[in-house]
């Protein structure tokens, strides 16, 4: 996600400005959501390098993080785990930006061909809103994959079509035996078909 990449680069720049010897910043999804959305665990690594307690290093990192202006809540848990929550207005601004320019901030994936096969309504049963679920999910996945640069082949198939179709064809043959479709047997793959 470009948003997180941008934030990580800005944090790294702020750390470098403050002479913190770190080569990469990685925002990790928080293991304890009640403490924050993301976490940074670099204080532990830096403790060995700087010969300080992880908690003291975490406090220095927090000062740098506060200067970025990205976060509404920054807290230190345990020995030096830093938990972060983004400002709501920042996330809202980013979502609005993505909506206005839906292709600019999307990283395209390698162009592979994928096939999505999703079921349609079961014509043997009464149609209801539940029949739309599979088609809607399939269509959403198809559009998302295309948006990400994939070549997509999709197909919707009807569920449970065999017996009912046979019954309809049989009834048509009984009522209208002179239709062209019933004028003789056809051979296909060595089998007889009406």
pTM for the structure as a whole: 0.53
Residue pLDDT, tens place only, 179-194: 877 766 554 444 444 4
Mark whether 126 and 115 lie in a shared domain: yes
Number of H helices, E strands in the chain: 6, 8
Mark whether 39 and 80 lie in a shared domain: yes
Mean pLDDT of the chain: 83
- Here the contacts of 136-143 (C-beta below 8 Å, separation 24 or greater) are 141/116, 142/116
Q: Is the pLDDT of residue 94 over 80?
A: yes
pLDDT band with cut points at 50, 70 and 90 for residue 128: confident
pLDDT band with cut points at 50, 70 and 90 for residue 160: low
pLDDT band with cut points at 50, 70 and 90 for residue 9: very high
Structure tokens at 113: 């061909």
pLDDT band with cut points at 50, 70 and 90 for residue 71: very high
For the segment 94-119, the average pLDDT, to the nearest whole number, is 76
Task: Kindly list the distances between the CA atom of residue 137 and the CA atoms of 98, 112, 155, in Å, as whole numbers in the listed order.
Answer: 22, 20, 13
Residue pLDDT, tens place only, 164-177: 778 888 898 899 88
Distance in angstroms (rounded) separating the CA atoms of residues 55 and 64: 15
Mark whether 127 and 60 lie in a shared domain: no
Q: Report the chain's terminal Cα–Cα distance, integer Å.
A: 57
| pLDDT at 161 (0 to 100) | 67
Q: Where are the beta strands (DSSP E) in 70-163?
A: 71-77, 81-86, 113-122, 151-159
Distance in angstroms (rounded) separating the CA atoms of residues 12 and 150: 33
Mark whether 80 and 129 lie in a shared domain: no
The total number of structural domains that make up the chain: 3
For the segment 46-70, the average pLDDT, to the nearest whole number, is 90
Mark whether 70 and 37 lie in a shared domain: yes
Domain stop point among 58, 90, 122: 90
Mark whether 149 and 183 lie in a shared domain: no
Higher pLDDT, 146 or 108: 146
- Has residue 99 been placed in a domain? no
Mark whether 58 and 127 lie in a shared domain: no
Higher pLDDT, 126 or 141: 141
Mark whether 46 and 20 lie in a shared domain: yes
- Has residue 96 been placed in a domain? no
| pLDDT at 73 (0 to 100) | 93
- Has residue 85 been placed in a domain? yes
| pLDDT at 190 (0 to 100) | 47
Distance in angstroms (rounded) separating the CA atoms of residues 115 and 65: 44
The residues facing 188 across adjacent strands are 191
Mark whether 29 and 59 lie in a shared domain: yes
Structure tokens at 66: 């506060």
Which range of residues forms the domain containing residue 24? Answer: 2-90
């Amino acid at each position: 996600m470009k948003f997180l990449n941008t934030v990580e680069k800005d944090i790294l720049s702020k750390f470098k400005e403050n002479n913190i010897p770190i080569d990469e910043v990685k925002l990790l999804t928080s293991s304890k959501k009640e403490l924050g959305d993301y976490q940074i665990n670099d204080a532990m690594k830096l403790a060995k390098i700087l010969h300080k307690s992880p908690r003291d290093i975490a406090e220095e990192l927090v000062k740098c993080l506060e200067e970025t202006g990205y976060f509404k809540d920054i807290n230190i848990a345990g020995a030096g785990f830093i938990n972060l929550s983004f400002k709501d207005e920042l996330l809202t601004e980013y979502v609005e930006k993505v909506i206005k320019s839906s292709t600019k901030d999307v990283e395209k994936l390698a162009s592979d061909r994928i096939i999505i096969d999703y079921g349609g309504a079961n014509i043997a049963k009464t149609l209801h809103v539940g029949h739309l679920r599979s088609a809607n999910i399939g269509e959403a996945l198809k559009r998302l994959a295309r948006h990400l640069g994939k070549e997509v082949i999709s197909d919707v198939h009807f569920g449970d079509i065999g017996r009912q179709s046979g019954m309809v064809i049989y009834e048509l043959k009984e009522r209208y035996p002179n239709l062209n479709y019933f004028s003789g047997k056809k051979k296909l793959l060595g089998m007889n078909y009406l």
